Structure 1
Amino acid sequence: MPYLASIIIPTLLSNEQYLANCLLSLNQSALGKHFSAKKIQVLVVFNTDRQQFAKAQAELKNMLNKTSANQQFTIDYLCLEQNLGFTGAVNAGIEQAKSQHIILLNDDTEVDKNWLKELLLKQEVTGAEMVASKIYLSDKKTLDSQGFAFAWRGKAEALDENLKCSLSDKKDYWSNNPDLLPKNKLQEPFGPDAAAALYTKNLFEKVGLLESDFFAYLEDVDLALRARQAGMSCVLAEKAVVYHHKHATTSKQQKSFKNKQDLQNWWKIIMRRYNFKIWKKFAGLILIERGRNLKGYLNSL
C-alpha cells in the first residue's frame, strides 16, 4: 500500500468553515521521526451536487495554497452528486482508500497536531483493529467521547474519564456477558466514535463496509458489534485528541430525524446481529429499550 493511512472526511457542506478548519488542522499534523518517510491520503467525500462540489473544492484548494503545505499529505476530493448519508460517503471513501489504516473524521472537527501520530502508534503497538480518539467539545474542556460502551438491551453510551458510564454495572453490559462474544479482549471501549476513529483495512475485509441503509447514526455501533463478534478488539489512544463542534445548532426537524434513525437502526442491529441466545437472555430489556426509542421519536414530532 502506498500510504500509511487514508483519512476519510464525509461532508454535506453544512458549514464550509468547519471543513476548512478541519483540513487546516490536519495540515499542521506532526507525524514524528517514526513516520517521517510515510505519506497520508486524505479523501474529502462530498454528499452534494456537482455545482456545490466544484465551488467548495476551488475555495478549499485556494485556501490551502495560501498555507505551507504538509508534504506528507495528499488531499483528494470525491463528489457523490447526491446525499448518500454518512454511510454512503464513508463507503465510497473506503473503496478509494490506498492504505491498511482507514481513519474516519467528521468535517466539523479539529485535530491536535499529534492526533494522527498517536492513533497510528497505538494501533502499531497493540495490533487492535479499532482505535478510539479522545474527543472534546469545541470548548476544549468538555470530554465528549473516549469511545463508547454497549449493553445488549440495544444501547450505547460515551465513556467518561474513568472509562465508565451508566450502563457499566448493568446485567446486560457487554463485558459482564463474555459468553455472548468470542474470546477476545474485554477492555474498554467497546468501539470507537466514528467522528474520529481508526479501523484496519483487514476489519472491513472481514466484516464488510458500513451498512448503507443506516444512512446516518449508529453505524459505528453496528460496525463495532460485527467486529467484536468476529473476535476483534478496540483500544483508546489517550493522547489522540480531537475537538468536535458537535450539534452546534440542532433544530426540531434534525432532532426528529435523529430519533427516527435511532429507532430504525437499533432494530436493524438487533434483528441482524442478535442470535437466539441473546434474545432469550435479554428479550425484556430489548423490548423496553425499543419502547423508549419509540417514545423519544414520537415526542420529537
Structure 2
Amino acid sequence: MKTQTVAVVLVNWNGIVDTLRCLTSLQFLDNEKGIEIKIIVVDNASADASASVISAKFPNVELILEKKNLGFAGGSNVGIRAALSQGARYVWLLNNDTVVHRGALSLLRAMSDPSAGVAGSKIYFAAGHEYHRNRYRESERGNVIWYAGGIIDWKNMYASHRGVDEVDHGQFDTSEETQFITGCSMMVKREVFERVGLFDEKFYMYLEDVDFCLRAVEKGYTLLYVPQSIVWHKNAGSSSVGSELHQYYMTRNRLLVGMRYAPVRTKFALAREAIRFMVIGPSIGRKAVMDAVVGKWGKA
C-alpha cells in the first residue's frame, strides 16, 4: 500500500504553552495503516521564545518562521503551501490551543467518500474555558460542546455552532453533512485546495473558514461532521470573544461573507444594518463597517 501523508498545520503567535500542549497530544494519535503524519508549525512573528522551544522539544516538527503576523488565514496558507509542496494528500488544520483525542484521525475515514472535501471534529471546550463556567458541574467540564456542526442563518447572516454550551449526552453522535466546518479542526483533501484555492487572506481571522467551506460546496464537495474525532479547545487564544478586536473582525468579515453568498434580500438587510451601525453603533463597529465599505481588508 502506498503511504499517504497527512500534514497537520498549526499557527502559533505567542502561544508557546498551548502549542506545546497541542504538539504533545499529537504524539499519541492512533495512526491509520499506510498514513504518515507530518507536523508543520507556522510561527507568526512571536515575541516570546516559541521558535527555540518548539525546535528543542519537537525536532521532527517543521517550523516556519514568519517576519510578521499574518493572522490565522495567512499563517495557515503558509503551512498549507508547504504541505502541498511536499506531497501531502490531506491537510489537517488545528488551532494551536487545542488538545486532540488519540482517535481524532478518524477524520480520515470520512475522506473515503469521493464527494467529501472537508471534514471536522466534535469539539469540546477545554475544562474551565466554557463560556458559562458556573453553569456546569465539575464532572461535566471537558464534556461541554463547543462545535458539533456548523449552521448558517442566511436570513440574518450569522454562522453558529450546533450544540454550543450543551453537555454532551450523545445527541450529536451521528456523522453527517453540515453547512460549514470550523477551522479549529478542519481536514481538507489536497484536490479541494487545488480546485478551490486557499483561505482568503482578506479575512485575516474569523469567518475565513466559512468562506472556504462555501467555495468548496460551490465546487460540488460535501462537508462532513465526524463526531468520532474529538478535540478540546481553549477558545479565543489570540483574540478574546467579546473584545473590540473580536467585534471588529466579526462585524467586518460578516459583511464580506454576506455580500458574497447571501440571498439578495439578506444583502439589502445587511446594507441597512450597516447604515444603522454607522449612525448609532460603537466606534469599533463603525470602523469595521467603514473598512468593509472602502475595501480595507486584512489586519486591522
TM-score (norm 2): 0.76
User: Contact between 2:3 and 2:34, CA under 8 Å: does it hold in 1?
Assistant: no
- Measure how far apart 1:191 and its partner are: 1.3
Q: What are the equivalent positions in structure 2 for 1:33-48 lying under 5 Å apart? A: 35-48=32-45
Whole-angstrom distance in 2 between the partners of 1:291 and 1:7: 42
Matched, 1:148 2:150: yes
What is the one-letter code of the residue matched to 1:159? R
Q: What are the equivalent positions in structure 2 for 1:255-274 lying under 5 Å apart? A: 255-274=243-262
Can you list the C-alpha shifts for 1:89-138, whole angstroms capped at 9, x where unaligned?
0111111113121111000000001102x111121246410101100011
Matched, 1:12 2:13: yes
The share of aligned pairs that are identical, in percent, is: 23
Q: How many residues align?
A: 257
- Measure how far apart 1:264 and its partner are: 1.2
- Measure how far apart 1:64 and its partner are: 3.9
In structure 2, the partner of 1:63 is: 57
In structure 2, the partner of 1:221 is: 210
TM-score (norm 1): 0.76
In structure 1, the partner of 2:27 is: 27
Structure 1 window deviating more from structure 2 (103-112 vs 239-248): it is 239-248
In structure 1, the partner of 2:70 is: 84
What is the one-letter code of the residue matched to 1:102? V
Whole-angstrom distance in 1 between the partners of 2:226 and 2:281: 33
Match of 1:157 among 156, 160, 168: 160
Can you list the C-alpha shifts for 1:22-61, whole angstroms capped at 9, x where unaligned?
0000011111xxx233211111000016x75xx4233223
User: Contact between 2:277 and 2:285, CA under 8 Å: does it hold in 1?
Assistant: no
Gaps of 5+ in 2: 128-141, 287-300
User: Contact between 1:259 and 1:297, CA under 8 Å: does it hold in 2?
Assistant: no
In structure 2, the partner of 1:69 is: none
User: Contact between 2:88 and 2:190, CA under 8 Å: does it hold in 1?
Assistant: yes
Q: Determine helix, strand or coil for the equivalent of 1:129.
A: strand
In structure 1, the partner of 2:266 is: 282
Alpha carbons of 1:113 and 1:251: their partners in 2 closer, same or farther (altered >3 Å)? closer
Match of 1:111 among 92, 100, 116: 100
Whole-angstrom distance in 2 between the partners of 1:6 and 1:189: 23
In structure 1, the partner of 2:139 is: none
Q: Determine helix, strand or coil for the equivalent of 2:68.
A: coil
Q: Determine helix, strand or coil for the equivalent of 1:220.
A: helix
Gaps of 5+ in 1: 66-73, 164-186
Q: Determine helix, strand or coil for the equivalent of 1:25.
A: helix
Whole-angstrom distance in 1 between the partners of 2:118 and 2:254: 21
Q: CA RMSD in A?
A: 2.8
- Measure how far apart 1:8 and its partner are: 0.7
Alpha carbons of 1:264 and 1:121: their partners in 2 closer, same or farther (altered >3 Å)? same
Whole-angstrom distance in 1 between the partners of 2:27 and 2:150: 28
User: Contact between 2:251 and 2:285, CA under 8 Å: does it hold in 1?
Assistant: no
Q: What are the equivalent positions in structure 2 for 1:69-218 lying under 5 Å apart? A: 74-97=60-83, 98-116=87-105, 118-125=106-113, 127-139=115-127, 140-152=142-154, 153-160=156-163, 162=171, 188-218=177-207
- Measure how far apart 1:291 and its partner are: 7.0
